[in-house]
Structure 1
Amino acid sequence: MAVSISVLSSCLFVFVFILPRLWSRYQFNKKYRLPHVVPGWPIIGNSLDVPFPGGMWGVETARKYGEMYTCYLGGRAIVFLNSSRVVNDLLEKRAAIYSSRPFRPMCQDIMSGGARMLLMPHSDRWRNQRKIMHSILNNRQAETKFIAYQELESKQLVYDYMTDPENFHLANQRFSNSVIMSVVFGRRAAIDDPELKAILESVAVLAEYLFNPLKNICDAFPWLSNLPKPLQWWRPAGEAYFKRTRALYKGEYDRLVKKMENGTARPCFAVEVEQGAAKKEFAIDETEKLFVFSTLLEAGSDTSRNAITQAVAAMAAYPAWVIKARAMLDEVCGADAERLPSLSDREGLPYITAAAKECLRWRPFIQTGVPHMLVQDDEYEGYKFPAGTQFCWNAYAIALNEGDYADPMTFSPERFMDADLNNPLKGHWSFGTGRRVCVGYNVGANNIWIAIACLIYCFDITEDPDHPINTLNTNWEIHKEAPFKVKIAPRSQAHIELIKRISIEALTADY
């Protein structure tokens, strides 16, 4: 009798759980065809296989499976795009149907109150936020209102490098975050700024939830959001994060409102938003407004910091391009340390522009892009994709793809000395793609340009022979310590005197 019950139970399990799934898979395979599916585990797919960060994993997997391959992270299919050709064909040329986002019940609904533009589906709400950002952060605004902040912070940057070279990573962090804090809220940020520290911690937590499926089971298996709230064990952590993040940006916002009331507020994004809302140029509630601010701060802080840190690694590891760049800087700014480079020098220093673009290409700060989601069935080169399929550009794999770039391992600004030199979006995917391109890319590109120009002009940056830089596997994202060791020294006494002279303005500016 016991045997019969056991057999009956096994049969019931097969009929209830196994057969429906096999039938569903048969029907799916009959209708659709995805690129090579990377072998994974039952139910969880490849969730245990993708490390965080996943740059070199993506490179090796692309070498094995070619231009496109499919992973299952939880129950979701993600097609990785491993060449600029397929990224351009799908995410650029077909952006109208490849620009949405997958449902993320944890990161978007719980942790962001449904208000974070980065994770919003392609909707009217997303379009409204993007319109607001674009109107304020367009190229004209970036050139007329925000360059003054970047040039002031570049003076502080070279001072910090001169006085504390071992903590160059903190100088990069302070520069990047002080620029974006000035752009968004009209105030500077110090290295030990408590609000800045809280923002960085918030960004790090969100990144882990976004890119680490082991940390975020709910987004990996969205159907779990249908459980009764008391059974959603992840929810309290997400709700606590939302409250902390909202309070953090509400504090910054309240301080700015007081400055506006007493007439001391500086030109910045938040002031423009307040004025636009008052004139009823657009409608946006407070939570949404706060998360617009957070989106810009999060996008503009670590991205510029990482890119500048990577540029320092490239200066040390590939000195040939630095010699060439320095000769050009000396022609424009004087070989005897006459003045610091400024963004007004860009036309006369095209090689620095090319170097900034190469920095974005060489080691992408986002190692695998935030997935786009297809909103309707589509066909491409024999493949048939169902609506809901996610597509992710494999940033490291593309950067190291010899089909995209000659000698991709080498840092070579020459590759960008072409007709697209002055288009910050052409030749790499670091600012995103299609309708999801970062709206603040002009500010980011200017950050990298001015930092590279000033550092090369003022300092000799060389590799420490006892600590060679592993440019492929360095964890660029860490905050607490330098990700690699380099030797940094002012070029001459004249450069030391220049730094002392020009840094007075930055050291005394307080707003």
Structure 2
Amino acid sequence: MIGLLEALDVVFGTFFVVVVYRLLTTRRQGPLPPGPKGLPIIGNVLDMPTSHEWLTFAKWGVQWGDIVSVNLLGQPMVILNSAEIASELLEKRSAIYSDRPTLVMSGEMVGWKNALGLVRYNDKFREYRKFISRKMGTRSQVQEFYELQEVETHTFTRRVLKEPENLAAHIRRTAGAIILKISYGYTVKDGTDPLVDLVDHAMDQFSEFTRPGAFLVDVLPVLRHFPSWFPGAGFKAKVPAWAKTMNDMADVPLEFVKDQMQRGTNVPNFTSDLLESENISPEREFNIKWAAASLYAGKNSIPVLCSIVLCLISPLTQRRAALTGGADTTVSAIYSFYYAMMAYPEVQQRAQEEIDQIVGGERLPRVEDRENLPYVDALVKEVFRFHPIAPLGLPHRLTHDDEFQGYHLPKDTILIANIWKFLHDPDVYPNPSVFDPTRFLRSDGHTPQRDPRDLAFGFGRRICPGMNLADTSVFISCAMSLAVFDIRKPVENGRVIEPVYGALSGTVSHPLPFQCDIKPRGAKAEALVLSAE
């Protein structure tokens, strides 16, 4: 018993020293931006919201201004409630604002530090981005994937027609099928698919060990050097199994591509295109492997970055992040679209009339039709604005001391951009709680409101590299769905069930689950859907 108490004394003594050191070295050089007054030692830990953080942060902005700071156990965190300030810091000063915070357990010990979302701002990050930008960095480059997106989305409409009650699952499956084909030339099998199961298993594990408060080592990194029998270090026994699953997730599809290339049956894809280059060093192959893995796993693992921040504050809270293997930007946006069409039938009707004028019910819309569908294009913009896919974006870490508006921002400060606030600012978007695509159309001499895609995908050198692909996927999903389906409020026992809008917490936020009535617009529309078989 005495040995146990002595060990605990070491743990909490070290914890106290770390916090005091952070406090002394953070505040001595100048004032931080204003914010809620914290308590000694723990700072603002008890002030932090337990869900829907973007709403609380927006309220803090009203009280303390567009740049707010909090202290989390000595760790400074700055919240940006102004798009202009976010642009000034995260874009114009991106050379020092593009790093990521560190998760000891998942990043350093298990190995997820190699994924694009978690990798530090270094040469490896730059090579990942170069690989991805070469394939999908511009709108013209993603034209290569139009046919794939159209085929998979057509198949999506068939699944929805047959099983409308499984809408969310169909959206998720389609997003995965598109990115696996692009990344590895891999065709997802009907029913259970081993590669999809492997990635989902890895992400389920990732969700487990990135739960805020799950492991004390994220607050006290020194514990990683202690034996597994030491109090608080029992997690070390699980690391090898988790690391194997993570490595399999990256290695198995890479080996699939290599095997297909050797057999001469390879379908050109992101990974094989890079592997065909001459003189591939082991380091370069490693970076190719993880750039490809980040394309697919990254669509699921975006929620973990918020856990980096939450792990700093969770020792004294019970907050749990909403981390799910299927949480990704495309799924969230398309699911939000179906809600909006049910809740705003007049918007749906106007969009359908525009589509009918262009395609006449004789075929399904294509990506190339976009320039002739201005209202549908505006509708897609409003989808991204109305329900921001990542309300707080992903945290940035400052690599050098900086001065801004008279405030001192110390090295290692974590910065959070409140994207929800940017896209619901009534001074920029009047009546922000209303779904209104016309805000992006020129009318009565008024200039269209700011394109929300300028804000929704992040900032600076950490902007989402797949945003053009995501934007195209959302457009074609919206256009095809509008062409063939009527999306209505459900009716039970003769009564219309009014939808209740709400958002789930998490770095990637989905609307609260909802029911809707999805029916083909007529016999011709149904025939178009079934022609995918």
Structure 2 unaligned segments of length 5 or more: list them: 1-13, 301-327
Contact in 2 for aligned 1:47/1:214 (Cα 8 Å): no
Per-residue deviation at 1:320? 2.5
Moved more, 240-249 or 105-114: 105-114
Contact in 2 for aligned 1:68/1:79 (Cα 8 Å): yes
Per-residue deviation at 1:268? 1.3
- Corresponding position of 1:138: 137
- Corresponding position of 1:458: 484
1:380-395 matched pairs, under 5 angstroms: 380-395=404-419
Q: Kindly tell me: are residues 479 and 121 of structure 1, through their superposed partners in 2, closer, same or farther at Cα, counting changes over 3 Å? A: closer
Moved more, 212-221 or 337-346: 212-221
- Corresponding position of 1:303: 329
Partners of 1:241 and 1:298 lie apart in 2 by 15
Partners of 1:99 and 1:479 lie apart in 2 by 23
- Corresponding position of 2:275: 274
Per-residue deviation at 1:304? 0.8
Deviations 1:374-408 (A, max 9, x none): 11111111211111111111232333232342211
Partners of 1:53 and 1:198 lie apart in 2 by 30
Q: Tell whether 2:123 aligns with 1:99.
A: no
Deviations 1:325-360 (A, max 9, x none): 1111111111xx210011111111132222222222
1:156-235 matched pairs, under 5 angstroms: 156-189=155-188, 190=190, 192-206=192-206, 212-222=211-221, 224-225=223-224, 227=226, 231=230, 232-235=233-236
1:342-353 matched pairs, under 5 angstroms: 342-353=366-377
- Corresponding position of 2:242: 241
Contact in 1 for aligned 2:385/2:452 (Cα 8 Å): no
Letter in 2 for 1:299: G
Q: Kindly tell me: are residues 260 and 44 of structure 1, through their superposed partners in 2, closer, same or farther at Cα, counting changes over 3 Å? A: farther
Contact in 2 for aligned 1:463/1:486 (Cα 8 Å): yes
Deviations 1:56-92 (A, max 9, x none): 4444444454422223445422211122122111111
Letter in 2 for 1:147: Y
- Corresponding position of 1:253: 254
Q: Kindly tell me: are residues 76 and 225 of structure 1, through their superposed partners in 2, closer, same or farther at Cα, counting changes over 3 Å? A: farther
- 3-state SS of paired residue (1:151): helix
Contact in 1 for aligned 2:154/2:529 (Cα 8 Å): yes
- 3-state SS of paired residue (1:461): strand
Contact in 2 for aligned 1:100/1:374 (Cα 8 Å): yes
- 3-state SS of paired residue (1:488): strand
Q: Kindly tell me: are residues 222 and 165 of structure 1, through their superposed partners in 2, closer, same or farther at Cα, counting changes over 3 Å? A: same
Partners of 1:476 and 1:130 lie apart in 2 by 25
- Corresponding position of 1:34: 32
Letter in 2 for 1:430: A
Partners of 1:218 and 1:19 lie apart in 2 by 15
Partners of 1:283 and 1:119 lie apart in 2 by 21
Letter in 2 for 1:33: P
Contact in 2 for aligned 1:56/1:473 (Cα 8 Å): no
1:385-424 matched pairs, under 5 angstroms: 385-417=409-441
Partners of 2:137 and 2:336 lie apart in 1 by 26
Per-residue deviation at 1:292? 1.9
- 3-state SS of paired residue (1:234): helix
Partners of 2:80 and 2:461 lie apart in 1 by 17
Partners of 2:206 and 2:405 lie apart in 1 by 36
- Corresponding position of 1:116: 115
Moved more, 448-457 or 244-253: 244-253
Q: Tell whether 2:350 aligns with 1:324.
A: yes
Partners of 1:414 and 1:315 lie apart in 2 by 15
1:479-494 matched pairs, under 5 angstroms: 483-494=513-524
Larger RCO (alpha carbons 8 Å, 6+ apart)? 1
Deviations 1:444-478 (A, max 9, x none): 11110100101111111123366543333346999
Contact in 1 for aligned 2:43/2:70 (Cα 8 Å): yes
Per-residue deviation at 1:146? 1.6
Q: Kindly tell me: are residues 330 and 147 of structure 1, through their superposed partners in 2, closer, same or farther at Cα, counting changes over 3 Å? A: same
Partners of 1:208 and 1:40 lie apart in 2 by 30
Partners of 2:474 and 2:15 lie apart in 1 by 54
Q: Tell whether 2:378 aligns with 1:354.
A: yes
Moved more, 133-142 or 357-366: 133-142
Per-residue deviation at 1:315? 1.2
Per-residue deviation at 1:104? 2.5
Count of aligned residue pairs for this structure pair: 482
Per-residue deviation at 1:428? 4.3
- 3-state SS of paired residue (1:118): coil
Partners of 1:479 and 1:427 lie apart in 2 by 16
- 3-state SS of paired residue (1:199): helix
Contact in 2 for aligned 1:110/1:239 (Cα 8 Å): no
Q: Tell whether 2:532 aligns with 1:499.
A: no
Partners of 1:20 and 1:140 lie apart in 2 by 47
Contact in 2 for aligned 1:101/1:121 (Cα 8 Å): yes
Partners of 1:20 and 1:331 lie apart in 2 by 66
Structure 1 unaligned segments of length 5 or more: list them: 1-15, 505-511
Q: Kindly tell me: are residues 39 and 243 of structure 1, through their superposed partners in 2, closer, same or farther at Cα, counting changes over 3 Å? A: farther
1:11-22 matched pairs, under 5 angstroms: none
Partners of 1:289 and 1:19 lie apart in 2 by 41
Contact in 2 for aligned 1:142/1:443 (Cα 8 Å): no
Per-residue deviation at 1:221? 4.5
Q: Kindly tell me: are residues 35 and 208 of structure 1, through their superposed partners in 2, closer, same or farther at Cα, counting changes over 3 Å? A: farther
Contact in 2 for aligned 1:476/1:483 (Cα 8 Å): no
Root mean square deviation of aligned Cα: 3.4
Q: Kindly tell me: are residues 401 and 141 of structure 1, through their superposed partners in 2, closer, same or farther at Cα, counting changes over 3 Å? A: closer
Contact in 1 for aligned 2:129/2:465 (Cα 8 Å): yes
Deviations 1:87-130 (A, max 9, x none): 11111111111111123222321232542222122111211221
Q: Kindly tell me: are residues 444 and 143 of structure 1, through their superposed partners in 2, closer, same or farther at Cα, counting changes over 3 Å? A: same
Contact in 1 for aligned 2:333/2:383 (Cα 8 Å): yes
Letter in 1 for 2:241: A
Contact in 2 for aligned 1:106/1:235 (Cα 8 Å): no
Per-residue deviation at 1:319? 2.3
Contact in 2 for aligned 1:364/1:396 (Cα 8 Å): yes
Contact in 1 for aligned 2:382/2:452 (Cα 8 Å): no
Partners of 1:268 and 1:47 lie apart in 2 by 46
Moved more, 150-159 or 469-478: 469-478
Moved more, 214-223 or 291-300: 214-223
Contact in 1 for aligned 2:68/2:78 (Cα 8 Å): yes
Q: Kindly tell me: are residues 217 and 313 of structure 1, through their superposed partners in 2, closer, same or farther at Cα, counting changes over 3 Å? A: farther
- 3-state SS of paired residue (1:110): helix
